[in-house]
Amino acid sequence: MTGTRAAEPHKKLGGFMRPLKDYSNIKGFNYSLASLKDYNHEIEVRNMGYAKRLTLNSCRLFMHMEDWKKDSERFLDNLRDFMTVAYDHGITTTPILLMPYFTDDQTPYWLSEDHSCSPIPGCYYPENYSIGEAYVSDIINAVASHPGLLFWDVMNEPSWHGFLLSVDDPQEKQKRLDMVWDFVRHFIKFVREKDPVNALGVGHTFIEDTEYSKTGEMVDIIIFHDYLETRSRVEATCRRAVELSQKYGKPVINNETGCLCRSNPYDMAVETADRYGIGWYLFELMIEEEGGMWSKVHGIVYPDGTVRDPSIVAAILGFFRNRNETAIQSDVNQEGHADKAIAAARDALEKRAGAEELLEAAENVANLLEAGELVPMAVPPTARIAAYRRSEKKDIREIRSFLYNLVCRLKEGCDIV
């Protein structure tokens, strides 16, 4: 399957979203329900407006059990409000019901001195299942009939947590994995009992976790995540997903993908999933503020509506870079404008022009470099020019050096001696 796909919201069937035969039209994103102190209706309207403009049609929603413990009524009100805002923008929601949770006497493993091996989260002991059951029940009771609900994601990445990953002893690791899979299977059954109509799946870390967990027969949708590094590896995962879809007679979705620091660029992930007819959820819609855990490696849109990489937007819309022999190399000097820009820059440098004229010459050169993709775009030259213009005290020597280097790049890119 290739090309663009319809982004219309799903419609409820008799008030509930029954399992669909096909979820290949899903163009989704991961997102977090804001904390109790930060939730803002207007911000959600703004962000879902961005998602709608991107033609995205579904949201995979992370939630915080701790907020529910603090004030369940406000937590559920915020959840309902968010799902309504999303649905008003043509966007369905798949709430993630569970992450590992701890008992009151435990320090989470990411805060403990022994980050890796202790403690095993209390949730995995059957005597503590009731905590999760109360939380999940509240969510199901609150939004199971919401028209924006697409399906339940019972748990996020059960196999990918520190108390599992850093255990060297194979017997101990298997013991812990068995506890995790028992927990997952229990809550699949629990969610099914509480809501026998809406679809459910498990957001597995890897496609093979479907088999390891023995959940393929239990779910309505086979879900996997993929952050692999090359097209061949991503394609192998997609082929395996299609095989398991056929084996169990269930639709399949990749509901986490796209990471800059894992050699898993968004456009590659989307293009490959589209080719195999697999619906996807990118991680994540919003670029976090500087200092956020994922701000440098995930996200599509900044809060002001600008983007980090337009190729992600193009991919969402079904347009991908030409990487074959038919691609035509651009020539920004076809009409001699590179020659003219270089001459103007040289003139500004030789007559020791002021900042305004130097920056005007720099923008002329920079626009040609960017249009021809002759420079890295992580920090575009035009962004530096804008920063120089905003600065109250302009460093003429620095600006001259910047302009000189731009000219050298343009001459190299256009083979101008």
pLDDT tens-place string over residues 72-122: 999 999 999 999 999 999 999 999 999 999 998 887 766 766 555 667 999
Do the Cβ atoms of 318 and 392 come closer than 8 Å? no
DSSP annotation of 265? -
Choice between 23 and 109, residue whose per-residue pLDDT is larger: 23
- Give the pLDDT band (50/70/90) at residue 14: very low
Would you say residue 12 lies in a domain? Answer: no
Least confident stretch, 44-48, 109-113, 254-258: 109-113
Which residues form the domain of 380?
A: 337-413
Q: Is residue 291 pLDDT above 90, yes or no?
A: no
Domains held by the chain: number: 2
Q: Are residues 236 and 382 in the same domain?
A: no
Q: Is residue 237 pLDDT above 90, yes or no?
A: yes
Would you say residue 356 lies in a domain? Answer: yes
Task: Please give the pLDDT value at position 112.
Answer: 65
Could you tell me the CATH number of the domain that includes residue 204?
3.20.20.80
- Give the pLDDT band (50/70/90) at residue 165: confident
pLDDT tens-place string over residues 292-310: 889 999 999 999 999 999 9
Would you say residue 301 lies in a domain? Answer: yes
Q: Are residues 217 and 276 in the same domain?
A: yes
Q: Are residues 93 and 157 in the same domain?
A: yes
Domain finish residue from 316, 350, 375: 316
Task: Please give the pLDDT value at position 1.
Answer: 38
Task: Please give the pLDDT value at position 314.
Answer: 98
Q: Are residues 400 and 301 in the same domain?
A: no
pLDDT tens-place string over residues 322-352: 999 999 999 999 999 999 999 999 999 999 9
Q: Are residues 129 and 172 in the same domain?
A: yes
Q: Are residues 308 and 387 in the same domain?
A: no
Q: Is residue 6 pLDDT above 80, yes or no?
A: no
Buried b (16+ CB within 10 A) or exposed e, 158-195: bbebbbbeebeeeeebeebbebbbebbbebbebbbebb
Q: Are residues 281 and 359 in the same domain?
A: no
Q: Are residues 383 and 273 in the same domain?
A: no
Give the Cβ contact number of residue 289 at 10 Å: 9
Q: Are residues 347 and 402 in the same domain?
A: yes
SS3 28: strand
